[in-house]
Amino acid sequence: MPSLGSDMESGKLVEWRVKPGDRVRRGDIVAVVETQKGAIDVEIFDSGVVESLVIEPGTEVPVGTVLATVRSEGEAAAEPATPKPAPRPPQATPTAPPPPAAAPVRPEPAVARPAPPAVGGEATPVRASPAARQRAAALGIDLATLTGSGPGGAITLADVEAAPAQPPARAPRASPSVRQRALELGIDLAGVTGSGAKGAITVADLERAAAGAQSAAPIPAPAPKAPFEPDAMRRAIAAAMTRAKREIPHYYLATTVDFEPALRFIESVNAARDPDRRLLYAVLLLKATALALREVPELNGFWRDERFQPSTAVHIGVAVALRRRGLIAPALHDVADKDLDTLMAELKDLVQRARAGGLRSSELTDPTITLSSLGDNGVESVHPIITPPQVAVVGAGSVVRRPWVVGEGLAVRRVITLTLAGDHRVSDGHRGALFLAALGRLLQQPEAL
């Protein structure tokens, strides 16, 4: 079981995408694993032939557990897979790199539990958004029976709620705050009678339902446990950020730069394009960040084994908000080497997969630095926290119109506040400032990016 983040302790194998005898190449997707951050496509880190699948789908195992054995090219065939539980099968190659030093290597037997009975015949890969999975579990709907209308055929929340012949097919009427409260209380809205306008469920209805559930003791079973609980991701974020604040001596820098040239460049490019080929200014921030890192490379890499391991490649973790479910920052690979159109296409794909499911394991483990952009909510600056084992994070506030000195006069310009949090074990404020200055300078000449 690969570690897909410093905060991950275990994962549930959802399905295998390979079978014994299959030839696999480094980077192939071999399995799907469900984590606190949703379902992740696991890539293999080595090439060879699959010898045996050790863990059955449906099993939750700690990070570091051997999931399968793969015979590398040129390696002699191992004994025919012996079914006896061996702590480390001979010639075992875990399907993922060993966990980072911080993750405990557990001496768990490779074959941990009896396989659960297969559910509903052969498992078909089901792509669904986290919200859809949660809702389907609450309603007792098998996702495999649904047809997805989302991107790439993904099942969306609406598909789940439109599922025929399920008792509460229609979504109960309730405001977002009521839904949030229901999530907190663990109440299924479908079972609550609304007393508000048009039968809408109010907070008071929820409180009553919660009180009722407590007093009327053995009533049916509580709603089945969702594939991942609503607050699982919050706990994952809490674990990573607590570790960051405990272990990383952060320093923070900020600068506000004229963003008018960058935005005018994007606007002039987009004016000649249909919407599907337009750029967002985020790609300029990504590219400029990657290029500025060449000047200050000690912000790019990992802190591991009590020392800094610089990275030559720049894989930028892009913070993506997951509607009501927290945040994830998967990697956009090799940003420095790609043009803006390529970066835009990849960014679109990455954001979509972050939200609908289908991120790859390398995207979770590869970021060498993170970019967190607030978007356009009007808030001017963000002072982000470094995600271990990275050593820096760049923040971008909302673009705002401000009086700005141009030459000897004042003008109204669109400006953006860029921030940097750096790891003082690796760099210092002076070097960090050089990076932010380079970033601001590169953004003044967007056509060169």
Partner 1 sequence: MTETELRERLLAILGAIAPEARETELDPVAPLRDQIDIDSMDFLNFVTAVHKQLGVPIPELDYPRLSSLNGAVHYLTPKLAG
Footprint on residues 229-268 left by partner 1 (CB under 8 A): 267
CB 354 within 8 A of CB 327: no
Q: What are phi and psi of 77, to 5 degrees?
A: -60, 135
Q: How far is the CB of 131 from partner 1 (least distance, A)?
A: 6
Q: Which is nearer to partner 1, 241 or 280 (CB)?
A: 280
Helix (H) / strand (E) containing 254: strand 250-258
Task: Tell me the number of residues near partner 1 by CB under 8 A.
Answer: 33
| CB burial of residue 89 (10 Å; 0-12, 13-18, 19+) | buried
Q: Which is nearer to partner 1, 19 or 348 (CB)?
A: 348
Q: Which is nearer to partner 1, 320 or 421 (CB)?
A: 320
303 DSSP β-pair partners:
308
**Which string of DSSP letters, residue by residue, matches 52-84?**
EE-SPTT-EEETT---EEEEETTPPPPSS---S
Task: Tell me: does residue 341 bind partner 1 (CB under 8 A).
Answer: no
Task: Tell me: does residue 433 bind partner 1 (CB under 8 A).
Answer: no
Task: Tell me: does residue 442 bind partner 1 (CB under 8 A).
Answer: no
End-to-end CA distance of the chain: 39
Residue type, position 115, single letter: A
Stretch that binds partner 1, among 14-22, 309-317, 320-328, 410-418 (CB under 8 A): 320-328
Q: Which is nearer to partner 1, 123 or 321 (CB)?
A: 321
- Contact residue for partner 1 among 376, 379, 405, 428 (CB under 8 A): 376
Q: How far is the CB of 177 from partner 1 (least distance, A)?
A: 11
Q: Which is nearer to partner 1, 175 or 309 (CB)?
A: 175
Q: How far is the CB of 144 from partner 1 (least distance, A)?
A: 20
Dihedral angle computed from the Cα positions of residues 42, 45, 49 and 53, in that order, rounded to the nearest 10 degrees: -40
Helix (H) / strand (E) containing 393: strand 392-396
Stretch that binds partner 1, among 125-133, 208-216, 243-251, 296-304 (CB under 8 A): 125-133
Q: How far is the CB of 360 from partner 1 (least distance, A)?
A: 19
**Which string of DSSP letters, residue by residue, matches 398-418?**
--EEEEEEETTEEEEEEEEEE
- Contact residue for partner 1 among 145, 149, 312, 445 (CB under 8 A): 149
Scanning 282-404, the segments in alpha helix (DSSP H) are 282-295, 340-356, 361-365
Q: In the numeric block, which tokens belong to residue 122? A: 């052969």
Footprint on residues 157-176 left by partner 1 (CB under 8 A): 157-158, 161, 171, 174-176
Q: How far is the CB of 351 from partner 1 (least distance, A)?
A: 5
- Contact residue for partner 1 among 114, 167, 275, 409 (CB under 8 A): 275
Task: Tell me: does residue 180 bind partner 1 (CB under 8 A).
Answer: no
Footprint on residues 38-77 left by partner 1 (CB under 8 A): none
Closest CA to 415 of 435, 389, 444: 444
- Contact residue for partner 1 among 278, 383, 414, 431 (CB under 8 A): 278
Q: Which is nearer to partner 1, 282 or 293 (CB)?
A: 282
- Contact residue for partner 1 among 29, 226, 280, 327 (CB under 8 A): 280
400 DSSP β-pair partners:
415
CB 300 within 8 A of CB 310: yes
CB 175 within 8 A of CB 194: no
- Contact residue for partner 1 among 40, 240, 283, 351 (CB under 8 A): 351
Task: Tell me: does residue 382 bind partner 1 (CB under 8 A).
Answer: no
Task: Tell me: does residue 139 bind partner 1 (CB under 8 A).
Answer: no
- Provide the b/e sequence for 130-164 (b: ≥16 CB within 10 Å): bbbbbbbbbbebebbebebebbeebbbbebbbebe
Residues that bind partner 1 (CB under 8 A): 129, 131-132, 149-151, 156-158, 161, 171, 174-176, 179, 267, 270-271, 274-276, 278, 280, 282, 321, 323-324, 347-348, 351, 375-377
